[in-house]
Amino acid sequence: MTSYDDLPDSDLTERLRLGDSAAFAEVYERFFVVLYKHALNRLRDEEQAKDIVQELFEDLWSKKASLFIQSNLSNYLYTAIRNKVLKVIAHQNVVSAYAAKQVAFLKPDEGLTDHRVRERQLAAIIEKEVQSLPPKMKAVFELSRKHNYTHKEIAEQMDITEQSVRSHIKNALKILKIKFRLVYYMLMIFW
């Protein structure tokens, strides 16, 4: 009898694809906690984090026959949970923006035009997403974009190389671009 806890991820993936429920149970045991912690770290909501990890495993089981993983299983699952987290965050941002728009609409005495309301909402969404970046990346990004420091000045202040500064800024822009693309599409649906 095969001990599933000794099998490498690639063998588990193949057995899962063939419909082996014991392989699925082992994948669940190996990855649930780490995926949950990652989701919780980003969402800060235990129930929501559990829900999206459960949803990921439901999707994995229901699509097992067509499962094609180019990288390793852990990378596949991590990417899948990250995408689910980003969808949840985008949805939360849209809901918040919609609620703020409704509040502004119900208070016409403030004298703000629709354009100014949207501008404030967008600024709040941008700030929230910048605040959700990893700490060092966020610090580098803010020094660059908010305080207009040069890469050299940032490198000296943070005691890192200029290449690290460039990498942090590039990665921050990549993350924000993905998040804002999702937010943009959601806003277009509701506005």
Between the two ends of the chain, the Cα-to-Cα distance in Å is: 58
Q: Where are the domains of the chain?
A: 1-102, 114-190
- Are the C-beta atoms of 60 and 24 separated by less than 8 Å? yes
CATH number for the 114-190 domain, one of 3.40.630.30, 3.40.50.10190, 1.10.40.50, 1.10.10.10? 1.10.10.10
Question: Do the two domains 1-102 and 114-190 of this chain adopt the same fold?
Answer: no
The residue type at 63: K
pTM of the model: 0.52
Q: How far is CA 95 from the centre of its chain?
A: 17
147: phi then psi, degrees, rounded to nearest 5: -110, 0
pLDDT tens digits, residue range 72-118? 899 999 999 999 999 988 888 887 777 777 766 665 555 556 667 77
Instruction: Using pLDDT thresholds of 50, 70 and 90, give the confidence band for residue 128.
Output: confident
Whole-angstrom distance, CA of residue 97 vs CA of residue 93: 6
The CATH code of domain 1-102 reads: 1.10.1740.10
Question: Which amino acid type is present at position 52?
Answer: I
* Degrees, nearest 5: CA angle 160-166-170: 135
